[in-house]
Structure 1
């Protein structure tokens, strides 16, 4: 990768981080206005319908757009690639309009299934919100096609920039409209944000794509997208169904339970998604090239390398998240209508979800390894198994542990399913271990134990009233200790990172050489 490519990569990552945090601020604003009230429950329940229908069928299918677009471009040229894009956009737009009408009609039935425990008022509000949200389906289809056109033409910055702009627009409108119109302003703000994205994205792609009405259901490339998308649709469906199952059980508990589960999951997704997305973005292309060139030794070494990076990076994140769960939740949500009682419950839920961060991160990575190997069947089977396991665990745990039983069920099903997935991948790659090198387990175990002891003790040492100062103090001290311990163990990843930094900053090399001389 050249200097320009590296600079673009850094910019994309920074925009990704910025997008995550502007989206988080939007969620903070929502929690400030609605807390864990019945309105929050109703909105989160209504928002699952787009996930179950639109995300499952259309958004997941569009994941396959880029490789097929590139194939059309290589086979038939730019004009045919544009015709293919327009055809696909027309098909998905018309399909989503039909899907919107269908969802509008059966919204009461869908919500009755996924929220059986809601009282009449919460149930009625969730139906009304759903009937607004479903009209975003055709708009999102257009936006995601245009985003994929940008990505296919190596314009990766534009989509990330749009996420940031969309969140900022939503934040401004929420401040203005929610005090006057309440929860009903939220879905309209979301739809308005999608409409704005169409005009912005259209401007971004105008130099290499212009829409023309085309409708050809027999097109071979469209058929290829739809056929290739089947495993992705199934995998996405399993994720959405798992979320719906959690909502189903949450609705049978006290008011605010669905909202609290969602708030805890949002923090979990922020912690997991930011780091894992960056790793997968870097690794996926590299691993695909090695496998395509039949460089299987290099491919296996890279698989192990990235598994190790995920584990060694996520372990301190898990420990800090568990030890500082309440501080994290306070910083994000504790204001406005979000009461301290809700902070305690969301913190405890987040602790259970945090224990699954490493396994969830590895799942995102190993699923793509299976795809590179041409095996979409295995991760689909594992995902389906995870659903059944989650249902069975919920049946036995919710009665005993209430809302925490839902989080424990998710934790256990995630761990068990992913242990099976990794074990089978090891066999498929004919490797005894695709995760650890010799000595890794002992290094990780000793570092983790000492890190836990230090982090817990620092809760009392850094007994600040300010949650931000407390979190930063504990996190900084924990990370320094963790890196120091791995450095003492001569961990190869830490040493490689150290050399990279020293090579970038020559003055640090001089300081290191001076310290070595002093030691002698």
Structure 2
């Protein structure tokens, strides 16, 4: 929404980064509580499957950078604020009606959905998963409402609450599961504890989604953006524009998540695979989630304002800027996670019923996920460029192709690498998608400076490999010198090795004289000076 004065990209990135960091940190604590209560056993595995569709809807529809958020921002950013409320209320009415029907279908056919997602489950895990699925089904409605709220708040230049709101969901799970663990302890072999634990985990997930929506509604009403009321003006100007982006974007992102279903289909035949993938993926998604919001949230409205041919020169510059920032942030994390996957899993999860044997299952999966961090986020950056151009069909078509490609790669790679093979398949899909998107943008925008960009990224990859070896060497040296028996020593070893890897990587970036690194450094220094 055009408000005259808008925040700078750096200001938005700072707000989103801090808010998302707090939310992700709380999410990490949530995963630690769940791991301590249930390990990689029946409840954690059942939840990994039962959460697939409700969680998919929450991430797809309700997430920052999701299609609902992206569609509303791309349309509202070009309109006056006075047009916002009727448009938002009409879209909310339409979406709520559709998702109410979806919720009923999910509850009625819960057992069939679980069997479709995970046909290889044993009876105990299956029963827990079905119960959890029914409890979490209403998340479908609140997911759509949360996504609309994200887009509405961001379009009106509000970023704190959208960045912080996932905190509410994590807190409910921490309180519920933490209370269960405190009262009953981790009775991992007690069937009644597992049944009750499954119900508590699912119920707190649903309550978290409701809490997230309520917090948004308060902010929307106070800001005068919109109220939660039904408006059936489906022919209103702007509704068609929103749906034009939202529908193909939702289908496109949905196709992407079908790849998750495919992975879990194969994982259901591997013991403890789903829980291992969940725990490892969350470690990776903590920095990815923080940094993706820092990069994607401020850049999306900028992309949307540069779609006219006379602005393509600046659009190309912003695309390069967002991709280089992605590389500068993702490559050092990949180096650290690959080099130190085992000690990272130990320090994050080893407590309660989560023991060394569980770490040995999760660590190799973390290593595999780490290899694909850049490709995951870079693909998302380019998808947002297409959304900004008003083109949701191209990402959708590529996503359909990716479903078949992912299924093929899963089938081939799981035989040789088991759980890691499922992750390698996802990386392969993201790499091929990235290549296709770049080729299409190269043609659509009358050429991109691909050779120049390639040279930058080759050096960044080399820098990350060298940093990874240095990280591993520093950690090995410190471990040999004073051991890693206590939590304090583990923390010191990890911190020093990680800082060394990041410092070495930034030295390479400095030698490249990247304007993105200079810009980032100047803003960080400016914020430090202002805080003194």
TM-score (norm 1): 0.86
Residue 478 (structure 1) shift: 1.3
Task: Structure 2: give runs of 5+ residues left out of the alignment.
Answer: 185-195
Mapped pair 1:96 → 2:111: no
From 226, 232, 255, give the equivalent of 1:238: 255
Distance in structure 1 (CA, Å) of the matches to 2:461 and 2:233: 58
Greater CA radius of gyration, 1 or 2?
A: 1
Residue 165 (structure 1) shift: 3.5
Describe the shift of the 1:241–1:259 C-alpha distance in structure 2 as closer, same or farther (beyond 3 A): same
Which residue pairs with 2:246 in the alignment?
Answer: 229
From 52, 65, 85, give the equivalent of 2:72: 65
Contact 1:287/1:299 (8 A) holds in 2: yes
Which residue pairs with 1:511 in the alignment?
Answer: none
Q: Secondary structure at the match of 1:184?
A: helix
From 360, 363, 383, give the equivalent of 1:367: 383
Distance in structure 2 (CA, Å) of the matches to 1:427 and 1:67: 23
Distance in structure 2 (CA, Å) of the matches to 1:24 and 1:439: 36
Distance in structure 1 (CA, Å) of the matches to 2:7 and 2:92: 35
Distance in structure 2 (CA, Å) of the matches to 1:39 and 1:499: 47
Residue 409 (structure 1) shift: 1.8
How well do the aligned residues superpose, as a CA RMSD in angstroms?
3.0
The correspondence of residues 122-201 of structure 1 with structure 2, limited to 5 A, is 122-177=125-180, 179=183, 181-201=196-216
Which residue pairs with 1:332 in the alignment?
Answer: 348
The correspondence of residues 63-462 of structure 1 with structure 2, limited to 5 A, is 63=69, 64-69=71-76, 74=80, 78=82, 81-177=84-180, 179=183, 181-207=196-222, 208=224, 209-219=226-236, 221-254=238-271, 256-292=272-308, 294-431=310-447, 433-434=449-450, 436-437=452-453, 440=456, 443-444=459-460, 446-462=462-478
Describe the shift of the 1:396–1:144 C-alpha distance in structure 2 as closer, same or farther (beyond 3 A): closer
Distance in structure 2 (CA, Å) of the matches to 1:145 and 1:495: 35
Q: Secondary structure at the match of 1:294?
A: helix
Q: Secondary structure at the match of 1:414?
A: helix
Residue 319 (structure 1) shift: 0.9
Describe the shift of the 1:186–1:5 C-alpha distance in structure 2 as closer, same or farther (beyond 3 A): same
Residue 304 (structure 1) shift: 2.1
Describe the shift of the 1:10–1:119 C-alpha distance in structure 2 as closer, same or farther (beyond 3 A): same
The alignment of Structure 1 onto Structure 2 pairs a total of residues equal to 501
Contact 2:316/2:448 (8 A) holds in 1: no
Distance in structure 1 (CA, Å) of the matches to 2:89 and 2:525: 50
Deviation by residue 1:82-126 (Cα, 9 ceiling, x = unmatched): 344333333333322221111111111111111010012211211
Contact 2:342/2:359 (8 A) holds in 1: yes
Q: Secondary structure at the match of 1:311?
A: helix
From 31, 49, 55, give the equivalent of 2:53: 49
Distance in structure 2 (CA, Å) of the matches to 1:69 and 1:400: 48
Distance in structure 2 (CA, Å) of the matches to 1:177 and 1:310: 40
Which residue pairs with 1:509 in the alignment?
Answer: none
TM-score (norm 2): 0.85
Task: Structure 1: give runs of 5+ residues left out of the alignment.
Answer: 507-520
Contact 2:277/2:362 (8 A) holds in 1: yes
Describe the shift of the 1:432–1:460 C-alpha distance in structure 2 as closer, same or farther (beyond 3 A): same
Describe the shift of the 1:120–1:52 C-alpha distance in structure 2 as closer, same or farther (beyond 3 A): same
Contact 1:103/1:134 (8 A) holds in 2: yes
Contact 1:327/1:468 (8 A) holds in 2: no
Residue 224 (structure 1) shift: 4.0
Which residue pairs with 2:17 in the alignment?
Answer: 13
